[in-house]
Amino acid sequence: MKILRVIGIIVLAIVLLCVLLVIGAKLWINPNKLKPRIEAEVRKNTGLVLKIDGDLAWTFYPVMGMSAPHLTLSLPKATPFVEFNHVVIKTSLAQLFNRQVYSGELKIGATTLDRLRLSNASVGFKISQGRLTLAPIKASLYNGALSGSIEANNFNTMPKWNWNLQARAVQLKPLLIDVNGENSKIQISGLGNINLKATSIGTNRLQFIQNLQGQTNVNVEQGKLEGVNLNYLIQTADALLNRQAVGNEPTTANETVFDRLTGTGLIQNGLITTKDLTLAAKTFTAQAQGNISLLLDTLQFHLQIASTNVLKSQWTIPVAVTGRISQPTVQVDLDSLQKLLVSDGVDKLKESAYEKIKTRVSPQAQQLLQNMLSR
């Protein structure tokens, strides 16, 4: 019984001590006195402008730290590129008591990064010798998950950024609406996995895009292209190749359902180039090459579409996609189609001439003639 009594006294003493520490911390340090210090240290060590809106407050559950209703981060004399709402800054007691916050963890209810919206984010941070490290990053992104890391340094001259991010099972349609606007001519829906490894330098958005280098890959499952009917384009091209009347455009939904979209991209100075974009649907498979210019906000792709249905010509149909990212033009590549028609006509003339002549010459001459016509 004495042992239990001693244990009870010890536990009670610990609880009372914790309560006194909490009360003492609240009375001794007003967290709002840390605001200018935190903002100044961020500016000193990173060159970035941190603005803390609203009052800071202590938080003790589920973690020890400070809470802030709203934060923004920007380059000097620039509009904020990231906005945080409902933030909890988790750090050590030693840093709080010394009024210095150089490392810890951020718990963020909602984040807006440029035009992307994230929620329920957890971000480890460290500021040391002019280097900012955000890792690990975990957040919800359009019903999917975002993870990875971001590093930045050299803020006093030309900031350098390193990104290594992975998005999993992201709903692409709401993401692309936020990026390109809801009035975009073509929307892509489906569950997407995206990987991005990139670097850049710059003090503003233009410089950042101009110097963007890296690589990316994308995989979309069970998706839909809304605003373009590739099956109708295939049928149109097939009719032209066979010199038949083009059928009326279907009155059904102007869309293309696909099973899978995959591709890799090389990023050089803000230009994303791909040579292996593949779109697989039940009725066709499309191979595409082209690029997206983040600087000019334009795209240019050339598709070769092979139908898996029985068509009269069995040609690979050329399709061109060009224009602004939000308002692209998708149409049969008539120049390439004309070349196919000319090539087809020449081949038929060669075949007809050979059939007429071969019955009048020797076998040796037939072989020579065939070799000449096949060139």
Q: Is 346 exposed, middle or buried (0-12, 13-18, 19+ CB in 10 A)?
A: exposed
Q: What is the pLDDT of residue 297?
A: 96
Q: Is 198 exposed, middle or buried (0-12, 13-18, 19+ CB in 10 A)?
A: middle
- Dihedrals phi, psi of 93, to nearest 5 degrees: -60, -35
Q: What is the pLDDT of residue 93?
A: 55
Q: What is the pLDDT of residue 334?
A: 80
68: pLDDT strictly greater than 60? yes
240: pLDDT strictly greater than 70? yes
Asked if the structure places residue 128 within a domain, the reply is yes
- Tell me: the pLDDT tens digits for 138-187? 999 999 999 999 999 888 788 899 999 999 999 999 999 999 999 999 99
Tell me, what amino acid is at 355?
A: E
Q: Which residues of 244-258 are buried (b: 16+ CB within 10 A; e: fewer)?
A: eeeeeeeeeeebbbb
Q: How many domains does the chain have?
A: 1
Asked if the structure places residue 1 within a domain, the reply is no
User: Any bridge partners for residue 225, and if so which?
Assistant: 188, 256
- Is 152:131 a contact under the CB 8 Å cutoff? yes
Q: Is 146 exposed, middle or buried (0-12, 13-18, 19+ CB in 10 A)?
A: buried
Q: Of all helices (H) and strands (E), which one includes residue 183? A: none
Mean pLDDT of 266-295: 97
- How far is residue 296 from each of residues 179, 272, 368, measured CA to CA in Å? 15, 12, 54
Asked if the structure places residue 238 within a domain, the reply is no
10: pLDDT strictly greater than 70? no
- pTM attached to this predicted model: 0.80
% of the chain beyond a pLDDT of 90: 46
For residue 349, how many other CB atoms are within 10 A of its CB?
A: 11
Asked if the structure places residue 44 within a domain, the reply is yes
Asked if the structure places residue 90 within a domain, the reply is yes
- Tell me: the pLDDT tens digits for 107-138? 999 999 888 999 999 999 888 777 888 999 99
Asked if the structure places residue 64 within a domain, the reply is yes
Of 44-58, 82-96, 240-254, the one with minimum mean pLDDT is 240-254
Distance CA 251, CA 258 (A): 19
**What range defines the domain where residue 67 resides?**
32-157
The CA-based angle 78-81-86, given to 5 degrees, is 125
- Tell me: the pLDDT tens digits for 74-97? 877 788 888 999 998 887 655 555
What is the overall mean pLDDT for the chain? Answer: 81
Closest CA relative to residue 319, chosen from 284, 347, 366, 350: 284
* DSSP for 251-313, written as a single string: SS-SEEEEEEEEEEEEEETTEEEEEEEEEE-SSEEEEEEEEEETTTTEEEEEEEEEESS--SS
- Tell me: the pLDDT tens digits for 353-368? 344 434 443 454 345 4
Structure tokens at 322: 């060009």
Of 108-122, 192-206, 279-293, 304-318, the one with minimum mean pLDDT is 304-318
- Is 149:134 a contact under the CB 8 Å cutoff? yes
Closest CA relative to residue 231, chosen from 211, 214, 249: 249
- Is 279:301 a contact under the CB 8 Å cutoff? no
If phi > 0 it is left, if psi is from -120 to 50 it is alpha, else beta; for residue 270 that is left
Asked if the structure places residue 25 within a domain, the reply is no
Asked if the structure places residue 151 within a domain, the reply is yes
